[in-house]
Chain A
């Protein structure tokens, strides 16, 4: 296995790690549906204990990839090793070591939270009590409610609880926060942080840039079945982002030509906003000084780092998120 591992390309932050730390190694994975290459040559390594975010727009191939790893779908080509086991011949050997929350999962409507957790738990031979899990997910007060009566956020937390019944080493969460309100999303994020603190490996798919940025140690951006960038959040922004972003809001008509005249790069105008992408913080201080001296007016301004959204935009020429994703 060690020999095989050294064949694959070294990617992102994983360089220099010992091969034994990888819990998932995917090499050259393909999945074709008719003419669609849902997964188009993916290679990936996930390290033990990291939160890995598979970030990409709808239809990028996230679910297809993750369900191949989970053994729900069979690949057209490629190999996967998980926890040292080649899963080409089925996932039976690792089933008791992984936990899965499928995309858009929902459980038996009229079965209560406790009963639901106990049911899935019993399939593994009861490794873990429902009480402890409900506490971890902060759903104890809903224990006796039927699944169908729960809010979307609670349902999703029950789904995560169910994926933890066998105390798995790797947890796969396919879009765990899609469609949730901001408060519920925070709750789910909190659970993922707890899992990381307990040394579990989390394989997360999402199309929310904030989610990857907030939680992930390791991000791979997928688009049309291909990984287009990979690394830590910092690395990705460093390598593919647009540095610092300076924004003026409520601008005076004359401010834009003035800023353009400074030769520090192109100014983009979005309604009453002027946005500049800059390389370093000294440039920003210089610009602010000049704007102050000019006496031109604006309502407010802010400076922030470039984000994954801009990384994606730069790499693909398209926006990553859909409107539903905005908070």
Chain B
């Protein structure tokens, strides 16, 4: 192994890569887009808000008070409409499915009731679209708000309550924090697989491999250099994802040496694997088919987006046969739970895999033609 030659190959790959706009786009922008897309879709569903419409016909301090109280309910997105607005209009134009009307004389009657001579409670009028499943949820929330208000206003004391007895997951984390290690694992894998398979196919087509085979560089040097180059791209990809995750979603993940090590082994493993299979590829079309065939099943079956534990048993069995599963598990143990021991045990699978493909690569890959 000659470090100078390894460095030269690294440098020439780097130059060719950074001057390629398309390559840059796919390597770095793709993971970001993926993360933004999934990040927004799923982190929103964690704290859902419901649209409700509120029409205040009373316009008194007490009705204002109620409005403010409803606005304070986190689950409600309150749209206040003026007293002149026709309700039919609201349904037509704004597709309002849940309208609360504070009736005229609300304050007056409420005060009367509070003075002790309760005859009938002041009713808020509800107009709701029962065909919408969310209406029931909105109704329940509203009912509990009203109940709460009644208690406060009439000064009754609770005989029963709820208290938080601690969270169920060992470390409180949000979906995005679960998702980011998955995006890193996925992006590093597809970067390495696509980069290596397309790169090698191109070099083969250009005659560069035939040329290299007549120079003193060895296959081991070439493979190592390509692995290092892919690792370099993987490192940048991971950093970009983490920074975007932190800035956009405020994701807090543990950065530890074991996480870095997992990414190193992952980049090596998938680059090595790709170099092994790329020799069966004749042209760019076949290269694309092969790269997709490797990455596609792993993308969905290795728990990049969802926890494998939540999937059917047979999928779990398949997942455990896929290298990316161990990357995802290891990265989550390291980055979410900061559990080095657990991460290392998952990582050992991918590390062994990386060593095997490197050795097989040195032994089996050849620049020679038949």
A122 at the interface (CB under 8 A from B): yes
Contacts of B12 in A (CB 8 A): 108, 111, 115-116, 119
Instruction: Report whether B8 and A106 are in contact in the complex, using a CB–CB cutoff of 8 Å.
Output: no
Instruction: Report whether B208 and A72 are in contact in the complex, using a CB–CB cutoff of 8 Å.
Output: no
Q: Is the interface of A mostly helix, strand, loop or mixed?
A: loop
Instruction: Report whether B5 and A100 are in contact in the complex, using a CB–CB cutoff of 8 Å.
Output: no
Contact of A107 among B4, B206, B368 (CB under 8 A): B206
A318 at the interface (CB under 8 A from B): no
Report B225 CB to chain A, min CB distance, Å: 11
Instruction: Report whether B367 and A72 are in contact in the complex, using a CB–CB cutoff of 8 Å.
Output: yes
Once bound together, how far apart are the Cα atoms of A131 and B12, in whole Å?
A: 18
Instruction: Report whether B370 and A120 are in contact in the complex, using a CB–CB cutoff of 8 Å.
Output: no
Once bound together, how far apart are the Cα atoms of A325 and B369, in whole Å?
A: 28
Identify the stretch in A91-99, A137-145, A209-217, A221-229 within 8 Å (CB) of chain B at 4 or more residues: A91-99
Contact with A along B1-39 (1 / 0, CB 8 A): 000110011011001100110000000000000000000
Chain A, residue nearest B369 (CB):
A73
B355 at the interface (CB under 8 A from A): no
| A interface bracket (residues with beta carbon within 8 Å of B) | 20 to 34
Contacts of A103 in B (CB 8 A): 207
B169 at the interface (CB under 8 A from A): no
Instruction: Report whether A67 and B216 are in contact in the complex, using a CB–CB cutoff of 8 Å.
Output: no
Task: With A102-B207, A104-B207, A119-B11 as known contacts, state yes or no: A71 contacts B214, CB within 8 Å.
Answer: yes
Instruction: Report whether A123 and B15 are in contact in the complex, using a CB–CB cutoff of 8 Å.
Output: no
A252 at the interface (CB under 8 A from B): no
Once bound together, how far apart are the Cα atoms of A181 and B8, in whole Å?
A: 34
Contact with B along A99-129 (1 / 0, CB 8 A): 0101111111111000110011011110000
Contacts of A100 in B (CB 8 A): 210-211, 214
Contacts of B213 in A (CB 8 A): 71-72
Contacts of A110 in B (CB 8 A): 15-16, 19-20
Once bound together, how far apart are the Cα atoms of A91 and B369, in whole Å?
A: 15
Contact with B along A68-79 (1 / 0, CB 8 A): 001111100000
A162 at the interface (CB under 8 A from B): yes
Contacts of A70 in B (CB 8 A): 214
Instruction: Report whether A123 and B8 are in contact in the complex, using a CB–CB cutoff of 8 Å.
Output: yes
Instruction: Report whether B206 and A106 are in contact in the complex, using a CB–CB cutoff of 8 Å.
Output: yes
Contacts of A119 in B (CB 8 A): 8-9, 11-12
Contacts of A107 in B (CB 8 A): 206, 208
Instruction: Report whether A106 and B11 are in contact in the complex, using a CB–CB cutoff of 8 Å.
Output: no
Contacts of B341 in A (CB 8 A): none
Once bound together, how far apart are the Cα atoms of A91 and B216, in whole Å?
A: 10
Report A145 CB to chain B, min CB distance, Å: 12
5 nearest interchain CB pairs?
A110-B19, A122-B8, A105-B207, A102-B207, A100-B214
13 CB < 8 A contacts A-B: A33-B370, A71-B214, A73-B369, A95-B216, A104-B207, A105-B211, A109-B16, A109-B20, A110-B15, A110-B16, A111-B12, A115-B12, A119-B12
